[in-house]
Amino acid sequence: MSVDRFPDWHGTTVVGVKKGGEVVICGDGQVSLGPTVIKSSARKVRRINPGGFDVVCGFAGSTADAFTLLERLEAKLEAMPGQLQRASVELAKDWRTDKYLQKLEAMLIVTDGDALYIVTGAGDVLEPEHGTAAIGSGGNYALAAARALMDSDKSAEEIARRALEVAAGICVYTNGNFTTERITK
């Protein structure tokens, strides 16, 4: 069966916020298949610890594809401890050039508490402006909300959670069941 014959999987909004010495990545829990919610409590934000180096990752897209990418990122970080940017660039290069990896449909937001990056299959490693990043079906809504709240007295976690609440109120593929991970420097 051709992959083109499978219906579209939707669901996920992940937002990253860097503010006040803290970086938070927060993701919703909904996975949808067409118009049907398949799962409402998926965990799309994970902490990895290659070689004692703390990294938080959030993913949008195919779960199996995202886990493949997380494993590859973890291997890159084990080979390059403490070098998230370099490991992310190497992952993006592999993702863009490897025939197997090119077929993966996912995006990542990653942080080590210092930097915040979006990693894509197009070979991008983006360090977003304004300390905010968002991916997934409700990503644009969450990004707009997070950016609007950055000048407030809210913490990084409060901004991330509120941004996801806004996205969940607009995007039918985003729910209010959040997973949050933070790194404080």
What integer pLDDT is reported at residue 166 of this predicted model? 98
Q: pTM value?
A: 0.90
Active-site residue, selected from the candidate residues 12, 111, 132, 174: 12
State residue 10's pLDDT score: 55
Q: Which residues of the chain have pLDDT under 70?
A: 1-11
CATH number of 3-184: 3.60.20.10
Distance between CA 62 and CA 181 in Å, rounded? Answer: 20
Domain boundaries in the chain?
3-184
pLDDT at 185: 81
> Could you tell me how far CA 110 lies from the centroid of its own chain?
7
List, for residues 90-103, the tens digit of each pLDDT value: 999 988 888 877 78
Residue 54's pLDDT is 93
Q: Is 12 a catalytic residue?
A: yes
Identify which of 175, 35, 47, 19 has the alpha carbon closest to the alpha carbon of residue 110. 47
Judged by phi (left if over 0) then psi (alpha if -120 to 50, else beta), residue 92 lies in alpha
Nearest CA to 143 among 134, 131, 152? Answer: 134
Q: What is the pLDDT of residue 2?
A: 38
